[in-house]
Amino acid sequence: MATPADAATYFRKGFGLKTEVQGDLASDYDGRLVDYLRAHDYTLAVGDLTIRLAREFGFCYGVERAVEYAYQTRRKFPDRRIYLVGEIIHNPHVNARLGEMGIQILMPGLDGFDFSGVRADDVVIMPAFGVTIGDFEALRAVGCVLVDTTCGSVLNVWKRVDSYARDGFTALIHGKYYHEETRATASQVRKYPDGHYIVVRNMDEALLVCGFIEGTVDAATIRARFGEAISPGFDPERHLRRIGVANQTTMLARESLAIGEAVGAAIARARGAAARAEDFRTFDTICSATQERQDAVIELLKEPLDLMVVIGGFNSSNTISLAALCAERVPTYHIDTATGIDPERQSIHYRPAGIHHHEADRAGWLPAGPLRIGVTAGASTPNNKIGETVARILASRGLVADV
């Protein structure tokens, strides 16, 4: 996006203040109880409870980098107004901490972000999800300092969909059309005069696209079903001929791969193997951290567990994916932070897996008797919140970890 001429106002590699902010980061996010679990084969046994922590969990490199750059920005510009375009990551504790540091979070309205209050002498941080090309250009026009924390895995997806659009392929994106990352990715396609995209949320929506390709679903159904999830001027007859599959980096990996295979197979059935080879492209753009956390929880679920606790923002896509995997095997509670567990009331506030935009409370959520409880956390959850969660699980039985 930026050019060498922008070097004075555009920063993607921090400010060389890593050492200076390490103490603050450790104080705000490290967790002694998590360190203990790591050192003891990811296991903590107290009384009749055994806690098993997945071997990959919590902050990934991209999140660590984004948060660190925000801390560096505050240190670099102590007297400037600093804005953040939306949440830097989907974790309530981290975003609240940035707010306490005087970083103002701009939240989108019905018409997107309002940058009218941003001045040239302000500093604006772009989140790990990235921003749309339109938002980037609007901020460049202001002339403010931009600190770009966009995750490298997201940039890889942008390169992929850019190549699709450049070569005349419609980007079929497995993701949530309203998610910041997917909106930013879709905007990359629109750099080209005839660049188009369609966002499918799950396999059911992908199969509608497959039905259109094979002639069993009409164009009106596609337009009606996808609405805001297709690019302006989208014509199914034209724009579902050549398809390139990509995905929001935090989706359920196996579903992304299955969607790609289903679309390719539909083209082959409709127009033959040569058409599939010529008019279809796919590439696994799930980030490695997302994949590692999903693989680790699948491995943990091979053990006898009585329930799983998954920690991460209720709007965190990668955490939602982890909870969905766990719920297939055991009762699962997705909490957004440790305080979702109330030891005194013996209750838990959680997001039921598979139920969108819904939260619930449950009393007596811990069954009586000895329990083996699995714990994992999304890529935007800091270690201290994982440790606090384990402590609150124990406290729900009147137990304390002596570590």
Q: What amino acid positions are annotated as catalytic residues?
A: 181
Which contiguous run of DSSP H or E holds residue 324? helix 317-327
CA distance 202 to 259: 8
CA distance 182 to 197: 11
Q: Are 81 and 125 in contact (CB under 8 A)?
A: no
Q: Both tokens of residue 298?
A: 């699948």
Alpha-carbon separation of residue 400 from 46, 148, 383 (angstroms): 8, 42, 18
Q: Both tokens of residue 120?
A: 């040239």
CA distance 26 to 72: 14
Q: What are phi and psi of 260, to 5 degrees?
A: -60, -45
246 - beta bridge partners? 173
230 - beta bridge partners? 198
Q: Residue 75, CB half-sphere, CA atoms under 13 Å: how many?
A: 18
Beta-carbon neighbour count of residue 351 at 10 Å? 26
